[in-house]
Amino acid sequence: MLITPTLDKLQALNLTGMAWALTEQPERPAYQALSFEERLGMLVDREVQDRDTRRVDRNLKAAKVRSTACVEDIDFGHPRGLDRGQVLSLASAQWVAGHQNLLIVGPTGCGKSFLACALAQAAVRAGRTAGYHRVPRLLADLGLARLDGRWPRLLATLAKVDVLILDDLALRPLTTDQAADLLEVIDDRAQRRSTIVTSQLPIASWHDALGQPTLADASLDRLLHTAHRIELRGDSLRRGQPEPAPSIPAAAGSAVAAAPLRARTRAQAAETPPRPDEDRPRRP
């Protein structure tokens, strides 16, 4: 029986997983012993698995998190106050289902952004959506959006993401307009979605850095309520990484390599005695 027309129809219906599984079944004799219902169930399972994989890949691409950041690569051996049990518990993404927040603070280079992206990626694997934004750039974009009419649409986009990463909060004090924009982002997500905030400042210093006291009170009240906290310490992780060797341009490299060769050639020429015919006087 020719299955080419069936494969074409499955492709037309966007059932690519079933199509691939159907082409594999005739090639494996073990499938012949199965009933029709069992083989059909395996085709459906393959389609579901294929769609889940494509959805995760699509959500990871849309999240714009660091592609190399994952829970499996988190370094628990470096002394920085990281609790393995807490991180693995957060990796299950149950806190996302409960619409809770996560606050990660610590000095520069201690791995705050990597940890935030790794936990967001774990949430995406669990079927959630995520988005990564550095706070200074996000506030600048919100300021421009107020002028060109994109402000409501941008806020709506930020509000519907399951896990929103706000990286590098309060690198410098916020203006009143920036503090108001930040409050709008946080308020839209309060008790509806989950937010990850990273900062070099201790949480106790956030109030002074968030600008106008009334706006700071409102933002922190929504962020700190039922929030998980990770407070890192210690030296920068980047200090232990080897520096890359300086590259040598091709022309310079060839010149450096040729210098010892020229020196050896001159030395050999000085040590080599002249040939006998070179001592004879030439005929006029």
Residues 9-66 pLDDT 10s? 888 998 888 888 888 888 887 887 888 888 889 889 988 888 888 888 888 888 888 6
Residues 6+ apart with CB under 8 A from 42: 21, 25, 31, 34
Q: What is the mean pLDDT of residues 147-174?
A: 95
Both 125 and 44 in one domain: the answer is no
Q: How many whole angstroms from its chain centre is CA 167?
A: 12
Which residue blocks in the chain are alpha helix, DSSP H?
4-12, 16-24, 36-63, 84-91, 94-97, 112-125, 135-148, 151-159, 176-189, 206-209, 213-224, 250-271
Both 45 and 181 in one domain: the answer is no
Cα distance from N-terminal residue to C-terminal residue, the chain = 100
> With contact defined as beta carbons under 8 Å apart, do 132 and 65 qualify?
yes
Both 8 and 99 in one domain: the answer is no
Residue-level pLDDT at 4: 86
The answer as to whether 152 is a domain residue is yes
Both 163 and 24 in one domain: the answer is no
The answer as to whether 209 is a domain residue is yes
The answer as to whether 134 is a domain residue is yes
Whether 267 has a pLDDT exceeding 50, the answer reads: no
Both 85 and 219 in one domain: the answer is yes
pTM: 0.73
Q: What is the mean pLDDT of residues 214-240?
A: 87
- In the structure, what pLDDT confidence band is assigned to residue 154 with cuts at 50, 70 and 90? very high
Both 88 and 51 in one domain: the answer is no
Both 39 and 129 in one domain: the answer is no
Query: Which residue type occupies 106?
Result: G
Whether 255 has a pLDDT exceeding 60, the answer reads: no
Residue-level pLDDT at 237: 67
Q: Which residue has the higher pLDDT, 275 or 55?
A: 55
Of 63, 81, 111, the residue at which a domain comes to its end is 63
Both 83 and 40 in one domain: the answer is no
Q: What is the mean pLDDT of residues 228-253?
A: 62
Of 63, 83, 112, the residue at which a domain comes to its end is 63
The answer as to whether 275 is a domain residue is no
The answer as to whether 160 is a domain residue is yes
Both 75 and 56 in one domain: the answer is no
Q: Specify the CATH number for the domain of residue 218.
A: 3.40.50.300
User: What is d(CA 173, CA 228) in angstroms, rounded to the nearest whole number?
Assistant: 24
Q: What is the mean pLDDT of residues 70-92?
A: 92
Residue-level pLDDT at 86: 96
Both 208 and 224 in one domain: the answer is yes
Whether 248 has a pLDDT exceeding 50, the answer reads: no
User: What is d(CA 170, CA 135) in angstroms, rounded to the nearest whole number?
Assistant: 8
Domain count, the chain: 2
Residue-level pLDDT at 238: 60
- In the structure, what pLDDT confidence band is assigned to residue 3 with cuts at 50, 70 and 90? confident
> With contact defined as beta carbons under 8 Å apart, do 189 and 195 qualify?
yes
Residue-level pLDDT at 239: 59
Whether 264 has a pLDDT exceeding 90, the answer reads: no
pLDDT in tens, 178-226: 999 999 999 999 999 999 999 999 999 999 999 889 999 999 999 998 8
Range of the domain at 18: 4-63
